[in-house]
Structure formats: structure tokens, C-alpha cells
Amino acid sequence: MTLETKVHPIRRLIDYFRDREYFVLLLKIGLPIALQNFIMSSLNMVGTVMVGQLGETMVASVGVANQIFFLMNLLVFGVVSGSAIFTAQFWGKRDITNIRKVLSISILLAVAGATLFFVASEVFPAYILGIYSKDPDVVKAGSEYLRIMAISFIFFAITTTFATVLRSTGDVRTPLIVSISALSLNTLLSYLLIFGKFGFPQMGIRGAAVGIVVARVIECLALLIITYRRDLPAAARLHDLRSIDIRFARQVLKPVLPVTVNELLWAFGATAYSVIYARIGTDAMAAMSIVSSIDNLGLVLFFGISSACAILVGNRIGAGDQEMAFRYAVRSLGLGVGLAVVIGGIVLLVSRPILTLYKVSPEVLLEARRILTVIACFLWLRISNLIYYVGILRSGGDTRYAFIFDVGTIWLVGVPMASLAAFVLHLPVHLVYLFVMSDELTKSIAGLLRLVSKKWIHDLTTTV
């Protein structure tokens, strides 16, 4: 075998990723989304640091209350990401009429789901939070925080629906600007109201909740005004909703509902993890709350890549170019996993100085560092699954396969392994989190097999 023959596969690999058009499109779509997520996660971490000045009980209170928002968020995300399968493919055909019909259905579903969470949070917050923590101080403070924050749920659902459709049509700039402005306002108001600065009342964690509500309302109104004044593709009218027939709605809901149920059941699985962490102790929950804000910051780049992948792959499928859709999928996966290894190393380097910002006990800080070490080592595995299931399979309309393995592994592998580690082996929370990675490993193998089969590619625009 000659040297040229040995090098040939490497050259082929380099050539496979040598596509200027792909990277230009990826940066155009993914970079603003990543930037938005970076600013969002940065400001969320600042908010956690501010709450962290009030002690581990307040940090844990906000952490358990945010689990309800997390569930609602994933329900809404399931609806809008399922709908985005259609809007991205319809945009490949420049079919604005059907894009607005899909948006109308998406709004109805997202607002209905957010309303259910709003009512539950207002009527019996203590009962809900009692599932996560048995500490009465945590439940009491968390209930006060949740009752206020829940007012923002419906506004959040509307904003997310419109923003997702705008991104599917290539307009990432408008949601970016609106979101950054709202999040900046949220951080400012939280600072003023948590600590009572410049004449504002000192409200503690209730002030953080008020800041969220005001920012979400303004964000929603601003995005709607811009969308309709500019008559953007997402500017659906009442007649778009009236023009939807049963057959159209049925064909749209066929892939959307599995994604929605997928996200909801996955969210309950993730909630089961949080319950397990909380039952280990308040310190464990406080450590996970701190780590969560840092972890979200580390994921921002990959949310941009997976979102851009979904849009680019969906656009190519809608345009009838399935081979290029497959190439875009593989390139996005390779890029994401490679960058995840680098980001994981950075997390290891910066974890110690970041954790010194929190005024919590040394035990909580030590456990947080250990959890971050596990996160850094397995980040590449989690990113591969993010791109497989959100960026590739869903954009190809392969929602049933994604549902089976995304939900099945968390309930049949992840939750049992975490329960074994926490309640049978009585391991500390960072080792319990390590056991959770068995879910990610199983899911990643299933995702790779499906990707190479190409059975995930479906042109859904031909069905409506």
C-alpha cells in the first residue's frame, strides 16, 4: 500500500468538509442563534450569581421553581420545533401561505400548553415543588417565586413560536435583537429589585421573578409589532387560521405531536433526574442549580449549530436535494463533536474561578466542581445527540424514530441508572450524574445508525 493510498481517506474527509457555501450559511444562521443563546445564558448565570448572594436555600428555591419553567419550555419547544420541520421545508419552496397556516396551528398548541402550566403554578405551586424538595424553606420561597414568574409563560410561548418561524425562513436577526434587549432589561430589573438599588424595593428572589415577567411581556410585544409592521413571512392573519382544513391540520400534526410528546416525556425524565438530585439533599440541588447555569453557557454554540443544521437540512429536503441534505447533516455532526471536545477542555479550565463568584458553602462548591468535570468529559456525547435528534432526524421528518430513542433511553436507561446510583449505592451527586451518561451513550449509538441509513429523509411538503 503506497503512502498516497494511505493518505487518500484523510484527503477525502478534508474535501468532504471543504464547502464554502455550507459554512457561509451555517455562520449566517447559526452564529446569531448561538449569540442569542450565549447572551441569554450569560445573563441567566448573572441572575443565578445575584440570587447566590442570598445563600444556598434561595439558590435551591429558584432551581426547583425553574424546573416548572423547564417543563413548560420543552413543551413549547416540542410544538415549535415540530412545526419548524414544515416551515423550513416550505421555505425551501418559498410557500409563505402554508408557512402561516402552520404558524397558526403552532400558536394554538403552544399557548394551550403554556396556559396549563400557568394555572397549575398559580393554584398549587407548593404541591408541585414539594415533589422536588422536602425542605419547607425551599418550597415556601420557591412557591412565591413561581407564582410571579408563571405570569410570563403565555407571553414566552407566543414569542418562541414567532421567533422559531422567523429563523426557519432565514431571519435570525430580528429575534436576536429583540431577545437581547429583553434579557438585558431582565438582568437590570433583577439587580434593582433583588437588592433594592436606586430607590427600588428590596424583594429578594421575588424581584428576580418580577424582572422576568416585565422583560417577557416587552419582548413579546416588540416581536409582534416588528413582524406585522414589516409583513414578515411569520405575519399570520386570522384568515390563515380559517383557511386550514382538517386534512392539512392532520398532516401537520402527524409529525408535530410526536415531537411535542417527545419533548414532554423527555422533560419529565429530566425532571425525574432533578427529583433524584434534590432527594440527595439541598446542597446537591444547590450544586446542580449552579452547574446548570454554567452548563447552559457551554452549550450555546451547539444550539446554534443544531438549529442551523435543522434549517439548512430542512431547506434542502424541501428543495428536493436529498444528497446535499445528508452532506449538511454529516458536516454539522462532525463540526459539533469536534468543537465539543474543545469547549469541554475550556470548561475544565474556567470552572474554579467561575465558582468563586457564588457565596455558598465549600461543600456545595466542591460538588459543583466535580459535576462540571463530568460534564466537560462527556460534552461531546451530549452534543452528538443534540445534533442527531434536534438538528437532523426532526428536520428530515423522522419524528417517530427520534421519539422512540430520545424518550425510551431516558426512561429505560437513564432514570433507572440514576436511581440505582442515588438510592441503592448512595453515591454523591456527581457520580449519580456520571451514571446518567449511560442514557446519552445509548442514544448516540442509535442516532449514528439512523443517520448513516438515510431512512430519516422525508419530504413532508408533498403530503399537504
Alpha carbon of 65 to those of 62, 280, 340, 345, 436: distances in Å?
Answer: 5, 18, 29, 31, 22
Which burial class, exposed, middle or buried, applies to 438 when counting CB atoms under 10 A from its CB (0-12, 13-18, 19+)? middle
pLDDT classification of 374: cutoffs 50, 70, 90 = very high
In terms of Cα–Cα distance, which of 216, 208, 215, 180 is closest to 39? 180
Q: Determine contact, residues 86/461, Cβ cutoff 8 Å.
A: yes
Give, for 93, the enclosing helix (H) or strand (E). none
pLDDT classification of 267: cutoffs 50, 70, 90 = confident
Residue 403 has pLDDT above 60, yes or no: yes
In terms of Cα–Cα distance, which of 301, 213, 291 is closest to 37? 301
Cβ contacts of residue 211 below 8 Å, gap of 6+?
185, 186, 187, 188, 189, 190, 192, 193
Q: Is 198 helix (H, G, I), strand (E, B) or coil?
A: coil
Selected residue with higher pLDDT from 158 and 71: 158
Q: Determine contact, residues 338/301, Cβ cutoff 8 Å.
A: no
Q: State the CB neighbour count (10 A cutoff) for residue 420.
A: 13
Q: How far apart are CA 72 and CA 110, in angstroms?
A: 9
Q: Determine contact, residues 287/433, Cβ cutoff 8 Å.
A: no
Cβ contacts of residue 199 below 8 Å, gap of 6+?
none
DSSP 372-427: HHHHHHHHHHHHHHHIIIIIIITTTT-HHHHHHHHHHHIIIIIHHHHHIIIIIS--
Among 47-56, 60-69, 100-109, 178-187, the least confident range: 47-56
Q: How far apart are CA 61 and CA 37, in angstroms?
A: 24
Q: Determine contact, residues 59/194, Cβ cutoff 8 Å.
A: no
CA angle 297, 302, 304 (to 5 degrees): 100
Please state the φ and ψ torsions of residue 382, each to the nearest 5 degrees.
-65, -35
The C-alpha cell that represents 149 in the structure block: 414568574
Q: State pLDDT tens for residues 114-156.
A: 999 999 999 988 888 887 777 888 888 888 889 998 999 999 9
pLDDT the model gives residue 443? 93
Q: State pLDDT tens for residues 193-251.
A: 888 888 888 888 788 889 889 989 999 999 999 999 988 888 877 776 676 777 877 87
